[in-house]
Structure 1
């Protein structure tokens, strides 16, 4: 997600400047009591006086700018004294605090998440007008809309309707000039989860330029793009694999979504993204991605899916921007010509949670409802200006389906030696096979012969101290003892090694046993990981995405990814009818391969060698 950047200092252009407590859009409340929780030592260091814990000194005001993990706002204290034109005013300190608003004699509301849309500074383009603090403390409170409504809000509105409380908060939800029944009903429906965003909330900023359906891309550019994506896939794998547990993601989808963002990057931001993501130059990358994407869209025609329906490879990428935000037409043109994407416009500033729901519903539609909650609550705020989303759904039948009757429970050995019983599929058919130092590799084709799954099975750990490979019958004929265990193989896996493995695959008659498994990742934030990999500037105030809006006011706040995969026996009769491929001579005894310990797997396009998905299974979750 891309957010507006905070301004580090205020340029004074009028003779005087005072900064009120300003929160976007709604009505003022007079006579509100503000109870402040703060770090006394930090506050004392600023010289600011808060009498009795109540903000009484009208010469100072608090500007909330964000919230911490505990829901308390981080505020900056600004002076309200007169300043000379041309001077600057910087924050004295940051203070943790919580605001409690008391309405009438009894109604109590706690605003633990105050937000300031933009700091109102006179003479600054795009910001609110200068305001002066009155004798009474006044607070402009934003309506929570659908973001943070709770039962307390509903009770307060009902009290207002019954004449039991004064109209204080902006309870006029439908903005008809009064607090009415419709407002109370809306709040209650939100609390009950009955109110959903409608399609007419989403506008699309479309370029007048159509997608280029026959891009002029050289074979070298396409090859270099795929090679770069593979380098990124393995580099990202090494970072994500530092965490425990199963892993599954689409490096292709992540690269493509970030490529759209890269089109707006300039200077050092652009260079860091280029190096970290292993991108080509701007003029080569976007046409090459277009060519690869169009090529992949032709896959699976006439092939079967896992569920008996047609083959599906759904890659959902989209960009969502703040409505009325001045995105450059050149940025939108790149998205249209090379990615076939319009810029979807939502009002994050007024309705952040409604916007989140709308994006999640779009993703759910694109992934056949397998991924329903890509963006978690709270990830989008009123500061958000741009959101990139990517989600993956893949459904294909094996070229050689497994017989369900042949599936039996068998042992799967975890990395720590723990055993678990899992449903193990089994069949004897021709599969791609390679064996090297510390690993075996198996390739299973999907129906249509255009995509495949490659399984990398590292040797079992050496439990005897003897590095010589030996057969351990109780673990299966190819569960071999070796000095190289799963962690060693995984941590040393590179793009070059992976290429060597896939190039060495040869068709062998094989007795293959592998577990059924199903895995859906959580929504994973990649911002910290990508920053650690070499592109930190994109995620901070120094970011330069001026190719998007002509300013340097945007940065990426988050990149969120979620993926789903399901592997079972499924296939079709047509695929089974062409399952036997052999020479005229008598076939040799089949190689026995049993996937009964942690393994790495990837799904790739055979012709272009593009890695669409990569992951690992260290424990098995059955369907």
Structure 2
């Protein structure tokens, strides 16, 4: 058996009746993940997952390629050159500027027996900057350490131990890895002196004490009656990326809110919000999240690449029949008074075979479960929800 590994990180999405697009992979991923783990703190990176799947798509053919193209909602799916160029533009956009650090990186690890095909080299290596490196998978401990070391370096040591040594062996053909890292300061930072202990209601019957940050300033604010929720968007310094927080109006409203997030383009939601004076109270939070993507991707219609019918004939120069055996995702986020730090990684293992507002200060007190997303006007980089402390 040979293998491909794919590394992934996702973020959560929200909805507005005025901004409903076709159901995107972002919203589908969120629905699949949160429905399986409704009481866990969750963070995923749609961009990381999509990029890793795109790397697989560029080497896929027939039904394998069709399923990936459909789930990725690729336009001109038959033109892989255009698809590669689309993701190259994303790489060009995710660059560090000023105090904001933004890194998106790809790496292809091949067993010393194999080489990428000329066609795949042009698309994945040259267009998507996925450097290819030959390794000896039979030496699983050393190879896993090398891959994990690269991921740690790309994510500032926030994603550690992504690939366990026992997931690799002499039959592994290649591993596709994507890493995404973001760290930025708030445009309007919270004062450490304003942070105080406050109750966070996990449910109507349960509560815990948290460090609650607090500030009053002008932010994008929305009251979405269709969602029974309010939203606030906080900008980061030196970047057009921001954090959107969507808060259900009831303590137990998270599940209902997330059920309404289908078929929504979260990146466009801010267009339905207005600049208002808002008193924000948001808890500091820090957590990591591990996810087996295989059942999640199956719900999205991606199944053939895991079977003996998988066709990755455009990926390797050698005519070896391979399939994906594993798809894993690991993500990390920390939000505090200064700003946000988030990271994600995904790997695939391939084996043979709104309205107007009156002038006032609006209260946004996140003292119960909420949804968050780190995004710009085009892409959602991370999304998730906080349910407990």
Match of 1:236, SS state, is helix
Gaps of 5+ in 1: 5-226, 305-310, 463-484, 572-586
- How far apart are 1:553 and its partner, in Å? 0.8
For residues 295 and 273 of structure 1, do their structure 2 counterparts lie closer, same or farther at Cα, with a shift above 3 Å needed?
Answer: same
* Cα distance in structure 2, aligned partners of 1:364 and 1:358: 10
- How far apart are 1:525 and its partner, in Å? 2.2
* Cα distance in structure 2, aligned partners of 1:342 and 1:391: 13
Does 1:365 find its partner at 2:153?
yes
For residues 265 and 290 of structure 1, do their structure 2 counterparts lie closer, same or farther at Cα, with a shift above 3 Å needed?
Answer: same
Residue equivalent to 1:389: 177
Gaps of 5+ in 2: 5-20, 340-357
* Cα distance in structure 2, aligned partners of 1:417 and 1:592: 23
Q: In 1, are the aligned partners of 2:94 and 2:104 still within 8 Å (CA)?
A: no
Q: In 2, are the aligned partners of 1:2 and 1:558 still within 8 Å (CA)?
A: no
Deviations 1:304-323 (A, max 9, x none): 3xxxxxx2122332221111
- How far apart are 1:351 and its partner, in Å? 0.9
Match of 2:368, SS state, is coil
Residue equivalent to 1:514: 282
Does 1:235 find its partner at 2:235?
no
- How far apart are 1:423 and its partner, in Å? 0.5
From 57, 81, 90, the counterpart of 1:262: 57
- How far apart are 1:449 and its partner, in Å? 4.7
Match of 1:435, SS state, is strand
Structure 1 outlier segments of 4+, above 6 Å: none
Does 1:424 find its partner at 2:212?
yes
Deviations 1:329-371 (A, max 9, x none): 21112112211122111111x2122211110011111111111
Does 1:534 find its partner at 2:332?
no
Written as runs of structure 1 = structure 2, the 5 A alignment for 1:118-133 is none
Q: Flag the structure with more relative contact order, 1 or 2, with Cα contacts below 8 A and sequence separation at least 6.
A: 2
From 504, 509, 513, the counterpart of 2:272: 504
* Cα distance in structure 2, aligned partners of 1:488 and 1:540: 35
* Cα distance in structure 2, aligned partners of 1:331 and 1:516: 44
Residue equivalent to 1:492: 260
Does 1:450 find its partner at 2:240?
yes
More strand per residue? 2
Residue equivalent to 1:618: 387
Residue equivalent to 1:409: 197
* Cα distance in structure 1, aligned partners of 2:267 and 2:299: 25
* Cα distance in structure 2, aligned partners of 1:414 and 1:334: 47
* Cα distance in structure 2, aligned partners of 1:301 and 1:316: 16
Q: In 2, are the aligned partners of 1:392 and 1:563 still within 8 Å (CA)?
A: no
Determine which structure has more spread, i.e. the larger CA radius of gyration. Answer: 1
Q: How many residues matched?
A: 347
* Cα distance in structure 2, aligned partners of 1:416 and 1:246: 18
* Cα distance in structure 2, aligned partners of 1:499 and 1:429: 23
Written as runs of structure 1 = structure 2, the 5 A alignment for 1:136-535 is 231-242=24-35, 243=37, 244-280=39-75, 281=77, 282-297=80-95, 300-302=96-98, 304=99, 311-348=100-137, 350-415=138-203, 417-437=205-225, 438-460=228-250, 485-496=253-264, 498=266, 501-522=269-290, 524-535=291-302
Residue equivalent to 1:92: none
Match of 2:119, SS state, is helix
* Cα distance in structure 2, aligned partners of 1:326 and 1:315: 24
> Structure 2 length as normaliser, TM-score?
0.84
Residue equivalent to 1:591: 362
Deviations 1:58-94 (A, max 9, x none): xxxxxxxxxxxxxxxxxxxxxxxxxxxxxxxxxxxxx
Match of 1:423, SS state, is strand
From 327, 332, 340, the counterpart of 1:564: 332
Q: In 1, are the aligned partners of 2:241 and 2:376 still within 8 Å (CA)?
A: yes
Match of 1:3, SS state, is coil
For residues 389 and 499 of structure 1, do their structure 2 counterparts lie closer, same or farther at Cα, with a shift above 3 Å needed?
Answer: closer
For residues 316 and 548 of structure 1, do their structure 2 counterparts lie closer, same or farther at Cα, with a shift above 3 Å needed?
Answer: same
* Cα distance in structure 2, aligned partners of 1:430 and 1:566: 23
Q: In 1, are the aligned partners of 2:267 and 2:380 still within 8 Å (CA)?
A: no
- How far apart are 1:377 and its partner, in Å? 3.7
CA RMSD in angstroms, aligned pairs only: 2.1
* Cα distance in structure 2, aligned partners of 1:544 and 1:269: 6
* Cα distance in structure 1, aligned partners of 2:187 and 2:251: 32
